[in-house]
Amino acid sequence: MTALTMKLLSAADASTQEAAANTLVVANTEDPRTLVLDGVARIDLHFPKFTDGRAYTQAFYLRRRSGFTGEIRATGDVLIDQLVQMERQGFSVAVLRADQNLDFAQQQFDRYRAFYQGDAVTPKPVFSRDDNKEATV
């Protein structure tokens, strides 16, 4: 089983944090292939509505194709139901919408701990992983 690496923030906690100088805020209409990532430590991807999934594609592209290893933060209309998939697509931090409960959000990761197919974080499917201990799905 892969340890939870996604950090969860409430909207109130995130609003009190200042964005670092090396943060890139990307609209969900931008093509991640055009981004210059030199010196960037954090990328904020925005979900204007929970039904708009373009930021998932951006995160996947940044992790798998661009090799970005810094923080990718989900902002905007971020719901608890989206968190596990966000982590699998490469997000490392999620700023929950103001009406979402952090404790309930954490429970999502306890429910869904391992997956057969690969993703942005663990590209190999379970049958071809060297460490099949995480195969207890």
pLDDT at position 57 is: 95
Range of the domain at 83: 7-135
With a cut of 80, say whether residue 125 has pLDDT above it. Answer: no
CATH number at residue 55: 3.20.20
**25 within a domain of the structure (yes/no):** yes
Q: What pLDDT shows up at residue 71?
A: 95
Whether residue 21 has pLDDT greater than 90: no
pLDDT tens string 44-81: 999 999 899 999 999 999 999 999 999 999 999 999 99
Residue 123 in tokens: 């590209």
Residue 123 resides in a domain: yes
* Contact indicator for 6, 25 with CB cutoff of 8 Å: no
- pTM confidence score: 0.81
Predicted pLDDT at 36? 92
Q: How many domains does the chain have?
A: 1
Domain membership flag for residue 2 = no
pLDDT: which is higher, 51 or 114:
51
1 within a domain of the structure (yes/no): no
The string of DSSP codes covering 54-118 is HHHHHHHIIIIIS---SEEEEEES--GGGHHHHHHHT--EEE--TT--HHHHHHHHHH----SS-
